[in-house]
Copies of this chain bind each other. A is one copy, B any other.
Amino acid sequence: MIDTDTTSPVTRRFRPPAVPQVELRGFWGQRADVVADRTVHILYDRCVAAGMFDQIDPDRTAPGKVVSYDGGLMTSQMFWDSDFGKIIELASYTLFRKPDSTLEAKVDAIVDIYERLQQPDGYLNSWFQRIEPGLRWTNLRDTHELYNAGHMIEGAVAYFQATGKRKFLDIMCRYADYIASVFGPDAGQIRGYDGHEEIELALVKLARVTGRTDYLELAKFFIDERGQQPHFFDLEALQHGRDPAEYHFKTHEFSQSAEPVRDQRKVVGHAVRAMYLYAGMSDIATEFHDAALETALEGLWADLTTRKMYVTGGIGPSRTNEGFTFDYDLPNLTAYAETCAAVGLVFWSSRMLGLGPNRVYADIMEQALYNGASSGLSLDGSRFFYENPLASRGDHHRWEWHRCPCCAPNIARLTASVGSYMYGEGSNSLAVHLYCDSTANLDVGGRKVEIVQTTEYPWSGSILLQVNPERGTDSFTLYLRVPGWSSSYTLSINGEPEVVAMNDGYLALHRDWTRGDEVRLDLAMDVETIHAHPFVGDDAGRVALRRGPLLYCLEGGDNERPIASLSIATTKGAERVALDGAPGIVGLRLSGYADDMEAWGGKLYQSRPAATKAATLTAVPYYAWANRAAGDMQVWVRKAPE
């Protein structure tokens, strides 16, 4: 089942490289440095400060319940194993980038603690071992029990890939083996799944790194069972003396289990849960060549991207369910658009590329990565957004910590691992999904190929790729993505212009590649205005600004007046400018109008419109907002008639 070199369409199945295979420079190199230099240490220190070690360390006194919210429904302590999993995964990526023996020793110490905590049968969950013992596997709907396991598996895989150390991987394999014995269709097994998806995609990672196909089968079991009738969560509740109707979130749509996953076409419920499920489904579709899953995924993708996604790639407008509501419900000011959900969309999008290069998926991956996800981490790597609204009246600020600390390590681990999302490795091909100054050591059906990208992307659309097969000369297909936002492009190989047919938004360059071959791709990168579907009420009469993959916004500190009183005249003649306090970041300056406040007077309402006067507007990339002076912000800006 592990991908084999067969005929089309299987030849178009792709796997991501491991993070250590890609050395980032340029835009993402700088972001990864910030994460390695600051964020990972901040997050580790927060774990200490929150008392998380007291919970997991069997040699300390268990602290009892110390953090709770939502009327006692759950506590973030239930997720603390997942936080350690994410921290270890993040540390793995930064250790590869910047060796740090002190940090590595800290990770080893956490691994040692978990080794001591693990029960003889393999079970490993600090909450149910030390805070609520005796309740193991009694409430999968609400308690994130397998979710925790999933994040720890991801951490173990990353740590093994970064350091070669097997201890944590072995611990998690023992736990996974135990989970495989507990869950399944046989008598005496639990025929169920977790309320918060995550274990599925993690088991695929574990299978790929260990070659263990039984982990794939277990992931597939969780996916196959989800939403079947009689409903597992109802049976589980009854078995453990709870009323199934007494469910805070009312409907199993919250956990995407209201119907079997292959029947699902509508994106529903908690946004992060949804993304993690679809990511796992995509992996299983890739690994099992599962057409019914692919059909469902295509329907879900269309539903999300044509009716339920912010232009930032942010998703899940509602705070109430941290998730989806109804079609075209995309309010800007109150957008929940959790950082984790945009990160999850990157996860899902990247895994859709496992089915083959297709910019339908890569464009959205890029859109969410550069905008709605990256906005979650401050430029200096020390502060975070949980919510990512598309407008602010100046009262939305980054926080240093959060009672539910899921987003900070999530955006940090994504930022530090972007290299893994840049490429797809096929059996006789390579796909370049994302561009960034970098050096990658990739695998094409067992042969090594180095790809050196030289580019100032995303600030420029000029990309030079040097292709260096290890064997000197090698024949394979190099797929290059031409982003949908680019109105035109030119391609040359070793200085000679090339015209190549484009399929699904990728140029397929098949040739005998010789060490030192140079491919130059020049993407037109104009300043564009984007209009939203007329049913999106908040965006009517407004435009968003985009240049390349970056969405821009107007921020109070860069503009003279409240943003609400400004309108865009045209993007013609828009200039790229440096921004005060944001070195290296390209701002945009363009012409517009400001409502004339002197002519308006002091009234709140009157029967004539405001007069306008010419004004210069300055826009900043959305991901970089709220890093300088506090103030108001709008992504969707009024458009004056031209």
Contacts and interface: CB of A to CB of B under 8 A. Distances in A.
Interface of A: 305-307, 309, 311, 326, 328-329, 331, 333-334, 391, 393, 395, 528-537, 540-544, 562-565, 567, 595, 597, 600, 602-610, 632, 634, 638-639, 641
Given A531-B610, A565-B534, A604 B305 contact: yes
A534 B564 contact: yes
Contacts of A632: 537
A605 B541 CA distance: 13
A7 B329 CA distance: 61
4 closest residue pairs by CB, A with B: A537-B564, A534-B595, A534-B565, A541-B541
A608 B531 contact: yes
Nearest to A632: B537
Contacts of A639: 609
Given A563-B537, A607-B531, A602 B306 contact: yes
Contact of A537 (B528, B608, B634): B634
A610 B534 contact: yes
Given A534-B595, A537-B393, A541-B541, A607 B529 contact: yes
A366 to B, nearest CB: 14
Q: Which of A533, A534, A537, A606 has the most CB of B within 10 A?
A: A534
A307 B605 CA distance: 10
28 contacts: A305-B604, A306-B603, A326-B395, A328-B564, A333-B334, A334-B334, A391-B537, A393-B537, A528-B607, A530-B607, A531-B605, A532-B604, A533-B604, A533-B605, A534-B562, A534-B595, A534-B597, A535-B562, A535-B564, A536-B564, A537-B563, A537-B632, A540-B638, A541-B541, A541-B542, A543-B609, A544-B605, A609-B639
B638 A309 contact: no
A306 to B, nearest CB: 5
A308 to B, nearest CB: 8
Nearest to A305: B604
A15 to B, nearest CB: 30
A331 B333 contact: yes
Contacts of A529: 607
Contacts of A608: 531
A638 B536 CA distance: 13
Contacts of A542: 541
B603 A533 contact: yes
A326 B564 contact: no
A533 B598 CA distance: 11
Contacts of A537: 333, 391, 393, 562-564, 632, 634
Contact of A307 (B333, B536, B604): B604
A120 to B, nearest CB: 43
A97 to B, nearest CB: 35
Given A309-B604, A533-B603, 7 more contacts: A311-B605, A328-B562, A393-B537, A532-B604, A532-B605, A543-B609, A641-B641
Contacts of A532: 604-605
A266 to B, nearest CB: 15
A198 to B, nearest CB: 27
A534 B600 contact: yes
